[in-house]
Amino acid sequence: MKAAVLTFPGSNCDADLLWAVQEIAGQEAALVSANTEDLTGFDLVLVPGGFSYGDYLRSGAIAKFAPVMGALKTFAANGGYVLGICNGFQILTEAGLLPGALQVNTSLEFICEPEPLIVANHQTAFSNQYAAGQTISLPIAHGEGNYYADPETLASIEAHQQVVFRYAENPNGSLNDIAGLTNEAGNVLGMMPHPERAVEALLGGTDGLGVFESLIAATKGAVHVAN
Amino acid sequence: MLQTEPTPEQIRDQKPYLQLGLTEAEYALFTKRLGRLPNYTEVGLQSGMWSEHCAYKYSKPILKTFWTKNERVLMGPGEGAGVIAIGEGKAVVFKAESHNHPSAVEPYEGAATGIGGIIRDIFSIGAKPVASLDSLAFGTRFDAHNQNLIDQVVAGIGGYGNAIGIPTVGGEIQFDASYQDNPLVNAMCVGVMDEKDIQRGQAAGVGNAIIYVGAKTGRDGINGASFASAQFSKEEDADRSAVQVGDPFMEKLLTDACLAVTQKHQKALVGMQDMGAAGLVSSSAEMASKAGFGMTLDLDLIPQREPGMTPFEIMLSESQERMLLCIRTGFEQEILDLFAGYDLDAVVCGRVEAGHQYRLLHHGAVVCDIPVGLLTDAVPTYTTTPKQPARLAHPAPDFTPTITDIDQTLRALLALPNIASKRSLFKRYDAQVQTNTVIAPGGDAGVIRVRGTHRALAMTADSNGRLLALDPEIGGAITVAEAARNLVATGAEPLGITDCLNYGDPSKPEVYYELQASAKGIVEATKVFNTPVISGNVSLYNETSGVGIHPTPMIGMVGLITDLDAITTVAFKQAGDVVFLVGATGDDYNGSSIQYLQNGAYAGRLTGFDLTQEKAIQDKMLKAIQAHLVNACHDLADGGLAAALVEMGTANRLGIKGSTALSAAQFFAETQGRFLAAVPPAQQAAFAAQMGKDAVVLGTVSDGEFVLDLADAKLDTTIADLAAIQEEALAWQLK
């Protein structure tokens, strides 16, 4: 698997993602500037967490205009795998690659803590190494992770089984406890929790490894992924 | 120019320098050394550079007594931050800084820019910032003002640290009436680098370029250094413009770009320094002075946020996110191109000159032409004749608590803001970004692994104002000892110290006494623990309407772990582990939480601290942890054995079943030099043999019951009950 880790000015989890994919999952990966307009040759594009362009306006609102976004849309339209984490999730919703939006947490505060999650759909490119209904623990670290979509969109998301991870103890007010969801085609996932922060026992857990292992299996065509 | 500046003669006659914090004697000395009357710009530069914040006028004689060098120190005080070797070619860089005054006036930006400033100190040495810590102190009356202060300081620290992507891994939040009007906001940053890349803030080599990079210079924070060196008065509320506004996004770009210069453009770089207190003048004058050269700056070239700024304003602005570099002739374009790649404003704004003159040009005129040493080295130092405060001469009689209902007392103790969990506040900090955090806030110390090595660093930030108020010398030594104890509990060997000295007005004999006595205690302890002071700062004048804070030295200590498998946390891991109490417990209640709980105040002399004994216990404890004999370890501090036992149980809801010869009162004693350790049964004999008479079995870890037979009372409850109080008490009180 060859992964591109996008770097926007203000991204701060790009190096962490690179470390997780390269050093821990043992895959080929490269940091790719958001000024790039070409993503050919990659199997997976990772959109990292952080505060792209400072996020002073609204999370991801500036990043959606970055030069790379056109290439990213083409990449996704051609079925390439895209994983946005935290600010990456916010960018993907702003760019229209995923439905809905992420609002300020109901507590109005930034929250950093490990969060129990339920694997709501284990038949995706991003979750096939987990068991159905498995509870895992991943850290969250965000101020704007409160997922919102209008009732019609939400019904469609549920009907198409796009929710991959749900909070067991909703920390931020997300509708339907949504912590991570795919597009309808199933090749783009956005999630607020940080799987790349849970890949080493020394740092407190390895529950996030499954996301990367699932993608390795999916890019090899080793698993059947329901779309 | 919109405003008219006073002429040199008007300055002499009308004395506007008094408002800038200078005394008549200081102005006279400056004038005499200059050989002419200084103009308004020059007097402005003097006021910034001669402020306590920059010049340490009162604290220099004290700071000179600090022990600053051992075999591991690569760079001590005097640069942006200190550096200590940690092996495998790596070095740790750290420093702490206070932002008390700005945070009191504008808590969000005051705290945020405190973080920003200390981060720049770290990467100016060439180190990648890898962790930060904060030591905060607030008043105990949770009125609307204080609640907002607490909320906004925490929000500011998070707002800056979370965005820039440096994990906050530790620190402390404490409450005492002494900080009601003068909160303390001390920030510490830790960086890691290759030893070979260490660089200094110097501007050497005639003709070399001075490059300004980062945010534009605005009218924010003008003369902030003088502001921080003055007292607050409740009547004056016009200081808002002295507080700067932070931009963590800009700082992220600046960090990455400056580290690229130190790592990949070493041929071009002569020196680099952050524009901190007293902004452009302090960075440029210090860089020239340290290298023994002169400098000329053309202020028309300085990127400015607004039109019509005077030289005084440009030079003394404390706009954030700015750095000054000295670059070898011929390499200017290479460095400007590099910064352009990060979308940063960078300009060549001056040159290093032969000689020692410091010249500023503005609109074609020379607006300053003075020997640079007059700004950096001519500052007089002051000593006050110390006088022991009356309260210390006649301490209150020793206190002994009366425990009639141990269960009720324990519950009340756990609900005290100083004992209750601070999780509701520190969960607002990103503790894991950079994915190196082994122990996040809530442990005895934060721990991060060092990539590319088999090492980890433990770090803590501690202060004990309430103890220093009772005895500054012993309290100072205790603060160092407690910081070391925190590190040892995680399995780390203490390496060194950074400090923030937070005190009242040093011209008062009583405050000067406190400074001197506490420094004595600190120095003695640093030698015993082999932890030299490698950096730090001083925050004086923490007074409102003449009333000062407790003498509060904040000790930031960093320790080294060479075996990642030996890293130990506070939490009980499994039922059945044997719980040992390490170190002797005495009847030491003066200055304790149980005294505060029962009397509403801390009083009496300090007892129960023996530096030699403390060091011996810590050494033994560290050896046991390094020998992998221990499953969990916690130091005993506020709330004594009672609080520590509960704190070990909360995470996994594991309790204790045991008995002890200690009395109910001693359960709450705060004798120093103690730990709790949970030892697997298979290691019990080895642990007991190693610790000898210094450790006694208290009981075993239980599945949830919390039962302890004391000499004169029995505690019989559950960890779930106690944990609920400890975890929720503070959040309830701050609602």
Tens of pLDDT, residue by residue over B205-236, are 999 999 999 999 998 767 665 555 555 555 44
Q: State the burial class of residue B207 (Cβ atoms within 10 Å of its Cβ: 0-12, 13-18, 19+).
A: exposed
pLDDT value, residue A225: 62
Q: State the burial class of residue B512 (Cβ atoms within 10 Å of its Cβ: 0-12, 13-18, 19+).
A: buried
Q: Is B274 annotated as a binding residue?
A: yes
3-state secondary structure of B333: helix
Say which CATH number the domain at B263 has: 3.90.650.10
Contact call for residues B526 and B563 (beta carbons, < 8 A): no
Contact residues on chain A for B248, CB-CB shorter than 8 A: 51, 54
**Cβ separation A203–B436 shorter than 8 A:** yes
Q: Residue A117 and residue A112: Cα distance in Å, rounded?
A: 15
- The pLDDT of B126-152, averaged and rounded, is 97
Q: Is B120 annotated as a binding residue?
A: yes
Q: Is B320 annotated as a binding residue?
A: yes
pLDDT value, residue B282: 94
Q: In one letter, which amino acid is A132?
A: A
Query: Which of A59, A111, A112 is most worth mutating to test chain B (most B CB atoms within 10 A of its CB)?
Result: A112
How far B428 CA sits from the closest chain A CA (Å)?
Answer: 5
Place of tokens 């003066």: B590
A196 is catalytic: yes
Tokens in use for B312? 């005084």
Question: Which residue has better confidence, B4 or B683?
Answer: B683
Q: Is residue B369 part of a domain?
A: yes
- The pLDDT of B374-383, averaged and rounded, is 90
Catalytic residue from among A94, A115, A196, A213: A196
How far A212 CA sits from the closest chain B CA (Å)?
Answer: 16
Q: What is the pLDDT of residues B428-457, one digit of tens each?
A: 999 999 999 999 999 999 999 999 899 999
Predicted complex ipTM: 0.95
**Cβ separation B436–A53 shorter than 8 A:** no
- The pLDDT of A52-74, averaged and rounded, is 95
Q: Which residues of A touch B (CB under 8 A)?
A: 9-10, 12-13, 15-16, 19-20, 49-51, 53-56, 109-113, 139, 141, 143, 194, 196-197, 199-200, 202-204
B364 pLDDT more than 80: yes
Whole-structure pTM value: 0.95
Contact residues on chain A for B192, CB-CB shorter than 8 A: none
Question: Domain residue spans in chain A?
Answer: 2-220
Q: What is the pLDDT of residues B382-427, one digit of tens each?
A: 888 999 999 999 999 999 999 999 999 999 999 999 999 999 999 9
Q: Is B499 annotated as a binding residue?
A: yes
**Phi, psi (5° rounding) for residue B533?**
-85, 115
Q: Is residue B408 part of a domain?
A: no
pLDDT value, residue B56: 85
Which of B357, B378, B399 is the last residue in one of the domains? B378
How far B165 CA sits from the closest chain A CA (Å)?
Answer: 5
Q: In one letter, which amino acid is A222?
A: A
Place of tokens 């005499």: B32
Q: Residue B413 and residue B644: Cα distance in Å, rounded?
A: 12
Place of tokens 């921080």: B228
Q: Which residues of B touch A (CB under 8 A)?
A: 155, 158-159, 162-165, 247-250, 252-253, 342-343, 427-438, 449, 564, 567
pLDDT value, residue B241: 57
pLDDT value, residue B219: 86
Q: Residue A102 and residue A60: Cα distance in Å, rounded?
A: 10
B53 is catalytic: yes
- The pLDDT of B113-136, averaged and rounded, is 96
Contact call for residues B299 and B367 (beta carbons, < 8 A): yes
Q: In terms of CA atoms, which chain B residue is nearest residue A54?
A: B249
Q: Which residues pair with B194 in a beta bridge?
A: B90
Q: In terms of CA atoms, which chain B residue is nearest residue A143?
A: B428
Q: Is residue B306 part of a domain?
A: yes
Catalytic residue from among A86, A115, A122, A144: A86
Q: In terms of CA atoms, which chain A residue is nearest residue B159?
A: A110
- The pLDDT of B61-71, averaged and rounded, is 93
pLDDT value, residue B230: 59
Q: Is residue B305 part of a domain?
A: yes
How many other CB atoms sit within 10 Å of the CB of residue A142?
Answer: 25
Q: Is B537 annotated as a binding residue?
A: yes
Average pLDDT for chain B: 94
Total tally of structural domains belonging to chain B: 2
Q: Residue B548 and residue B505: Cα distance in Å, rounded?
A: 7
Q: What is the pLDDT of residues A95-118, one digit of tens each?
A: 999 999 999 999 999 999 999 999
B728 pLDDT more than 70: yes
**Cβ separation A20–B428 shorter than 8 A:** no
Q: Is B98 annotated as a binding residue?
A: yes
Q: Residue B221 and residue B245: Cα distance in Å, rounded?
A: 8
Sign, Cα dihedral of B333, B121, B538, B67: negative
- The pLDDT of B296-310, averaged and rounded, is 94
- The pLDDT of A127-148, averaged and rounded, is 97
**Cβ separation A141–B433 shorter than 8 A:** yes
Q: Is residue B296 part of a domain?
A: yes
pLDDT value, residue B237: 43
Domain span at residue B231?
200-378
pLDDT value, residue A221: 83
- Output the CATH code of domain A2-220: 3.40.50.880
pLDDT value, residue B239: 46
Q: What is the pLDDT of residues A171-217, one digit of tens each?
A: 999 999 999 999 999 999 999 999 999 999 999 999 999 999 999 99
How far B564 CA sits from the closest chain A CA (Å)?
Answer: 8
Q: Could you tell me the CA-to-CA distances from B50 to B66, B176, B281, B297, B364 in Å, in that order? A: 22, 32, 11, 20, 27
Q: Is residue B45 part of a domain?
A: yes
